[in-house]
Amino acid sequence: MYRYDEFDHKIVTDRVNQFRGQVNRRINGEITEDAFKPLRLMNGVYLQLHAYMLRVAIPYGTLSSKQMRMQAHIARKYDRGYGHFTTRQNIQYNWPALDRIPDLLDELASVEMHAIQTSGNCIRNVTADQYAGAIADEIEDPRIISEIIRQWSTFHPEFSYLPRKFKIAVTGHKNDRAAIKLHDIGIVIVRNNQGEIGYEVHVGGGQGRSPFIAKKLADFVPAEKLLAYLEAVMRVYNMLGRRDNSYKARIKILVHETGEAEMRRLVEEEFSKIDSSQMLNLPEAELERIAAYFAPPNYESLPAQSDSFETAKQNNAEFSHWVKTNLVAHKTPGYGIVNISLKPIGGIPGDATDAQMDVIADLAERYALDEVRVTHEQNLVLPHVKLDDVKEVYDILSNHELATPNIGLISDSIACPGLDYCNLANARSIPLAQEISTHFADLDKQYDIGELKIKISGCINACGHHHVGHIGILGVDKKGTEFYQISLGGSADEKASLGDITGQAFTEDKVVDAVDTIVETYLDLRQPEERFLDTYRRVGMEPFKEQLYAD
Amino acid sequence: MPTKTHLIANGAIIDDPWVFIDDDLPLGDTPSIISLDRLKTEADALRSRNAKLGVVLRTDTQGKTKLGEDVRELAPYLDMLSIIAIDFPVYRNGRGYSDARILREEMGFDGELRAIGEVLFDQWSFMARCGFTAFEIDADIPLKTFNEALSELGEAYQPASDNQRGVLWRRHGL
């Protein structure tokens, strides 16, 4: 994992001290809430429906046990005993008091964390594949370039007042778990014929009220030139992006209105100007310095198969089910990647209590080479667990309601905070996620249905990623009543697609029935080995529509 | 927008020798800042004028895109200009940061770059890094507050138009 040097420490500490001054001036009344707003937003502090909310950055979703323990401590000391992991691999606290936030940030800084650029119209926290460094067939650990992008984008003097927020995601694997085609910039690490590492750059993806799949603007940007290329994209956007309407201000609209070819030409022209000074050439020594922090940990040399693990599976059906859904193959023989579901049946997606976070921190320290990952699907990962230890880890997780065997299944849904917390929402999302998960609580049924991703947003801003849900649910407000629009066939992976709307929206009491109808229609139509998404792509919308709107 | 402003340049509050002249008024022999349109249409006459000249780049607040004037249009006239003022109609509109860096790093402008409009606390150090040397700010803000704000964030990761090389490079003695 990356560790701060004296420069990183100074940058974060200076920021906390600066914000403490700003908060003091706000509390003394020296500055108004209006003048304070841009300052607090730059530090991750939102004013929500009921209170201030603080969003803490978890760069590329990687935490050490010490950092996870700090989250538990913060949840206990500054919040109401829980935190909420988000779809951008961050964690949010819903109830901190404003005058205590500078102290909270000081405590975060003590474990090399911050809330910088987790809000505002700037480059946000960089996200990456949660299996980085642990999965086989990776071209390069995406956290290396993500950390470089984190540093380059921190307090970028030119790009801190963009037309709108800006999100970058990185994957180093052919299977995209970071939804890179739905980001303002999505980066795929590639290797060319000479064996050199470079970056494929996709620009202009996004969700919200106008969803777009990103366009590939560059096939291969050499590592040394990536920052210059990114500055070129950012500068074209900062100069030409629309500022008249916040719904049209994201770079996806600029790419759409400009056209892919012209956008590529503009970026390349800007790149040649920026690159001519060579000022942004990334030093190889810096790449190596950062890469060294992500060198593979000291794995033990183990046989590929663990007898105790195999026996435990045979003797315990529940464990065996959990292994099937929650354990993923590791690149190193004798190890596995453990997924921890934060979607207990009937629970709030992404929430974890202070006690649970402490347990996970302990597990990471004892069994997972001191690492935890946050996934964009709002779950957690212990990336390097010996197969010999998996049963013990499972038992401890079970004791703390952290062993729900549902990763990728219908009850593993994403949901935004919705009307329960958010002042933008039209409808509630969390209660709906809870109802669906309770309706499909039966595990055998869930296994029979197989991989099915439900994503729920409480408004058109699409924080719950409904456009890319295999089944997407969007809360809309019609004359004060909560309605839900359903879409089918979305996907956020390397074959990204946007869902198609089924038709008329459903009232809240009919949504679960509608999802049930969709699932039953799939079960009727599917061919052997077909997942929901495969069936939908084969048969299209009609059969689903017929059943949904039969009467 | 503050009703009363003062001008800070190179770390001190200074009297402003410059006057902004509307397009329909004649130019005298005092240092004058004019619009880009006027600069383009009257360039030949202005070359023989015997007083310092400046231009203001505005961000369009009409039109559907609110993009603003293109800084690169200044290229043929740079040798005539002692000052370029860049307008920030609202603090959220950060287009002027790119204008400033393009002027300094790509076009090589070395005269005064002045930030006008909504020029607030959290922006000053970013503006300075992008090449601004003069700031028109609320007259109620003391010089001390301004200077402290510039030094609150002591290190920067990335290069810009100031002389900091960026931590990503300095770590390796570059």
**Cα dihedral value A205, A207, A213, A216, nearest 10:** 10
Give the span between the Cα atoms of A17 and A23, in whole angstroms: 10
Contact (CB, 8 A) for A152 and B157: yes
Q: List the end-to-end C-alpha distance of chain A, in Å, as a whole number.
A: 57
- How many domains, in total, are found in chain B? 1
The pLDDT confidence band at residue B1, using thresholds 50, 70 and 90, is: low
String of b and e for A50-76 (b: at least 16 CB within 10 Å)?
A: ebbbbbbbbbbbbbbbebbbbbbbbbb
Looking at the partner chain, which of A39, A238, A240 has a beta carbon nearest the beta carbon of B94?
Answer: A238
Every domain of chain A and the residues it spans: 6-110, 134-291, 307-399, 414-548
**Residue B11 region by backbone torsions, left for phi larger than 0, else alpha for psi between -120 and 50, else beta:** left
Which class in CATH covers the domain with range A414-548? alpha beta
Residue B25 near residue B6 (C-beta atoms within 8 A):
no
Is A238:B95 a contact under the CB 8 Å cutoff?
yes
Locate A470 and state its tokens: 């295999």
| Count of residues making up chain B | 174
The answer to whether residue B64 scores a pLDDT higher than 50 is no
Q: Do domains A6-110 and A134-291 have the same CATH topology?
A: no
d(CA B116, CA B57): 10
Distance, in angstroms, between B43 CA and closest chain A CA?
26
Give the chain B residue nearest A249 (alpha carbons). Answer: B65
Token pair in block for residue B24: 């329909």
pLDDT in tens, B141-152: 899 989 988 888
Question: In chain A, which residue's Cα lies nearest the Cα of B145?
Answer: A21
Determine contact: A6 vs chain B, CB below 8 A: no
| Residue pLDDT tens, chain A, 551 long | 999 999 999 999 999 999 998 899 889 988 888 878 888 888 888 887 777 899 999 999 999 999 999 999 999 999 999 999 998 899 999 889 999 999 999 999 999 999 999 999 999 999 999 999 999 999 999 999 999 999 999 999 999 999 999 999 999 999 999 999 999 999 999 999 999 999 999 999 999 889 999 999 999 999 999 999 999 999 999 999 999 888 999 999 999 999 999 999 999 999 999 999 999 999 999 999 999 999 999 999 999 999 999 999 999 999 999 999 999 999 999 999 999 999 998 888 899 999 999 999 999 999 999 999 999 999 999 999 999 999 999 999 999 999 999 999 999 999 888 888 787 888 888 899 999 999 999 999 999 999 999 999 999 989 899 999 999 999 988 777 889 999 999 999 999 999 999 999 999 999 999 999 999 999 999 999 999 999 999 999 999 999 999 87
Strand A82-85 relative to strand A91-93, pairing: antiparallel
Please, which pLDDT band fits residue B153 given cuts at 50, 70 and 90? confident
Q: A257 touching B, CB under 8 A?
A: no
Tell me which residue in A157, A162, A273 faces B106 most closely, judged by beta carbons.
A273
The range of the structural domain enclosing residue B65 comes to: 5-170
Chain B contacts in chain A segment 510-539 (CB below 8 A): none
Greatest Cα-to-Cα distance within chain B, rounded to the nearest angstrom: 55
CATH code for the domain of B40: 3.40.50
Q: Sheet containing A380-386: give its strands across.
A: A62-64, A371-374, A380-386, A335-340, A327-329
Backbone angles phi, psi at B8, to 5 degrees: -115, 125
Number of CB pairs, chain A paired with chain B, less than 8 A apart: 117
Does the domain made of A307-399 have the CATH classification 3.40.640.10? no
pLDDT for B60 equals 66
Query: Which of A239, A269, A278, A290 should be substituted to probe chain B, the one whose Cβ sees the most B Cβ atoms within 10 Å?
Result: A239
Fold of A6-110: Sulfite Reductase Hemoprotein; domain 2 (3.90.480)
DSSP B102: I
Reported as a pLDDT band with limits 50, 70 and 90, residue B65 is very low
- Contact between A204 and A255 under an 8 Å Cβ cutoff? The reply is yes
Residue B18 backbone phi and psi in degrees, to 5: -95, 150
Query: Searching chain B, which residue's CA lies closest to the CA of residue A38?
Result: B122
pLDDT at B45 over 80: yes
Superfamily designation of domain A134-291: Sulfite Reductase Hemoprotein, domain 1 (3.30.413.10)
Q: Which residue among B129, B152, B172 places its CB closest to the CB of A286?
A: B172
CB contact under 8 A, A285 and B172: yes
* Tokens encoding A83: 């935190």
Alpha carbons B134 and A174: distance in angstroms, whole number: 50
Prediction pTM value: 0.95
Q: How many CB atoms lie within 10 A of CB A465?
A: 25
- Residue A87: the pLDDT is 87
Question: What letter does residue A281 receive in the DSSP assignment?
Answer: P
Task: Provide the pLDDT confidence category of residue B61 given band limits of 50, 70 and 90.
Answer: low
Looking at residue A31, what is its pLDDT? 81
Buried b (16+ CB within 10 A) or exposed e, B21-47: beeeeebeeeebbbbbebbeeeeeebe
